């Protein structure tokens, strides 16, 4: 079948194009317009970015199933589960941010050409994901709860492979450490719901992996198989992509660098300004409220967002408008796992004629965003301080 025909069955009716900047049509890659992202804490499905490495499979929920294999030295299990089987297990809901490791790649492209889809800051979204815990699925088919602690010296990963075709490998696949999956606090899900509704095709119908705190590339959609194994996935997307290569690595010599560096897992501390949106004009002398999002990886809480109006000489605290709630004592538990993003705001009393706005977030691990972006070949994990210089205009009308 010619490649173009693979895209004849795309779910265009589910794509509200007004909310997106389309970066490529085949595969369908679209980021959210950032000013739409801050209207609500939980991102509506029709504003959630879409990132695909191939055509969207059209799967039937009645006949869908996922094969689960455990293939390690001491344990061999193989089992096939369907949606009814998954629905028998305890159901969980988690609000978690999904961020593509390529979010803000445009900032690295501005330094030097990189290999990858151009993205602004619109490939991060915050959703409520529902489904069963992968840990419970593995335990239900006979994986001992302490499999990882007993044999901690061995590298163990859980590999996820997808239905459908992918552009760089026979299908999309990726893996995360077993130890991460088995920790009940991490809430890795085989998700069937997004914001209380069945997943739509673009987001992985009928089931996808949700791995809070981990880069989007590991949240495999259209889940076909789950495999516990003694090594990382050997997929292209684990071995030859989604790594931060050092700055001397280029298209000509990257072969020797890929095996030297780890596959990305945890998200980094990140923040972005969503209002003013790109191109939005501010009125000189008027008040304005700057707004944006902030997030971090591996459950680390964002504990502050700082804004500078003088090119980073001085910083002030932004107000954290919505974030995961305090505990029952009314206190915020910074030590708990935080998977969701934080929305923040910062009022400017009077917009100056030359306006520069920068923001940076901090997390409970003491991490913040670097002043300058460091270029890498794949253009991943750009989390430099977010800076804009919005155009200004002399305000018309009444004050």
Ligand X SMILES: Nc1nc2c(c(=O)[nH]1)N[C@H]1C(S)=C(S)[C@@H](COP(=O)(O)O)O[C@H]1N2
Residues in contact with ligand X, counted by CB under 6 A, come to a total of 18
Alpha carbons 386 and 195: distance in angstroms, whole number: 29
Interacting residues with ligand X between 218 and 277 (CB under 6 A): 219-222
Q: Which is nearer to Mo ion, 54 or 390 (by Cβ)? A: 54
Question: With contact defined as beta carbons under 8 Å apart, do 129 and 204 qualify?
Answer: no
Q: How far is the CB of 161 from ligand X (least distance, A)?
A: 8
Instruction: Taking the CA atoms of 124, 127, 133 and 134 in sequence, report the sign of the dihedral they define.
Output: negative
Question: With contact defined as beta carbons under 8 Å apart, do 176 and 157 qualify?
Answer: yes
Q: Contact with ligand X (CB under 6 A): which of 147, 148, 158, 217?
A: 217
Q: How far is the CB of 82 from Mo ion (least distance, A)?
A: 28
CA atoms within 13 A on the CB side of 96: 30
Q: From the list Mo ion, ligand X, none, which binds 282 (C-beta under 5 to 8 Å, kind-based)?
A: none
Q: How far is the CB of 44 from ligand X (least distance, A)?
A: 13
- CA-nearest of 133, 132, 109, 112 to 120 is 109
**Tokens describing residue 295:** 């997030």
Q: How far is the CB of 115 from ligand X (least distance, A)?
A: 14
Q: From the list ligand X, Mo ion, none, which binds 243 (C-beta under 5 to 8 Å, kind-based)?
A: none
**Tokens describing residue 52:** 């695909």
Interface with ligand X, residue 47, by CB under 6 A: no
Q: Which is nearer to Mo ion, 236 or 344 (by Cβ)? A: 236
- CA-nearest of 134, 157, 136, 142 to 79 is 142
Interface with Mo ion, residue 100, by CB under 5 A: yes
Q: How far is the CB of 7 from ligand X (least distance, A)?
A: 13
Q: Which residue has the tokens 């629905």?
A: 87
Q: Contact with ligand X (CB under 6 A): which of 47, 53, 201, 337?
A: 53
Q: Which bin fits 6, alpha (ψ -120 to 50), beta or left (φ > 0)?
A: alpha
Interface with ligand X, residue 172, by CB under 6 A: yes
Interacting residues with Mo ion between 22 and 51 (CB under 5 A): 51
By the criterion CB under 6 A, which residues form the site for ligand X? 48-53, 98, 100, 162, 172, 202-203, 216-217, 219-222
């Amino acid at each position: 079948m010619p490649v173009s025909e693979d895209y004849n069955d795309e779910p265009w009716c589910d794509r509200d194009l007004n909310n997106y900047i389309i970066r490529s049509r085949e595969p369908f890659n679209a980021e959210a317009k950032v000013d739409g992202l801050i209207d609500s804490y939980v991102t509506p499905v029709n504003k959630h970015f879409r990132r695909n490495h191939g055509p969207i499979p059209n799967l039937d929920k009645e006949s869908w199933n996922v094969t689960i294999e455990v293939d390690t030295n001491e344990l061999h299990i193989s089992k096939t589960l369907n949606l009814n089987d998954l629905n028998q297990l305890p159901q969980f809901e988690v609000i978690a941010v999904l961020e593509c490791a390529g979010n803000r790649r445009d900032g690295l492209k501005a330094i030097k050409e990189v290999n990858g889809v151009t993205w602004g800051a619109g490939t991060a979204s915050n959703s409520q994901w529902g489904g069963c815990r992968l840990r419970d699925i593995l335990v239900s088919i006979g994986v001992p709860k302490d499999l990882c602690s007993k044999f901690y010296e061995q590298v163990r990963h859980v590999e996820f492979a997808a239905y459908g075709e992918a552009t760089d490998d026979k299908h999309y696949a990726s893996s995360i450490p077993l130890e991460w999956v088995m920790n009940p606090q991490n809430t890795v899900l085989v998700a069937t719901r997004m914001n209380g509704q069945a997943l739509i095709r673009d987001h992985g119908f009928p089931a996808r992996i949700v791995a809070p705190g981990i880069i989007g590339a590991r949240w495999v959609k259209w889940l076909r198989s789950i495999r516990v194994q003694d090594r990382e996935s050997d997929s292209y997307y684990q071995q030859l992509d989604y790594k931060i290569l050092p700055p001397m690595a280029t298209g000509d010599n990257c072969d020797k660098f890929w095996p030297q560096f780890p596959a990305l897992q945890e998200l980094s501390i990140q923040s972005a300004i969503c209002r003013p949106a790109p191109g939005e004009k501010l009125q000189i002398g008027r008040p304005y409220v700057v707004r944006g999002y902030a997030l971090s990886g591996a459950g680390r809480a964002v504990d502050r967002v700082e804004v500078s109006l003088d090119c980073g000489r001085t910083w002030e605290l932004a107000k954290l408008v919505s974030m995961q709630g305090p505990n029952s004592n009314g206190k915020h538990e910074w030590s708990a796992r935080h998977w969701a993003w934080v929305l923040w705001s910062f009022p400017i009393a009077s917009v100056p004629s030359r306006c520069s706005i920068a923001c940076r977030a901090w997390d409970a691990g003491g991490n913040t965003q670097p002043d300058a972006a460091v270029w890498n070949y794949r253009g991943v994990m750009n989390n430099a301080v977010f800076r804009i210089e919005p155009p200004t205009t002399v305000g018309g009308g009444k004050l």
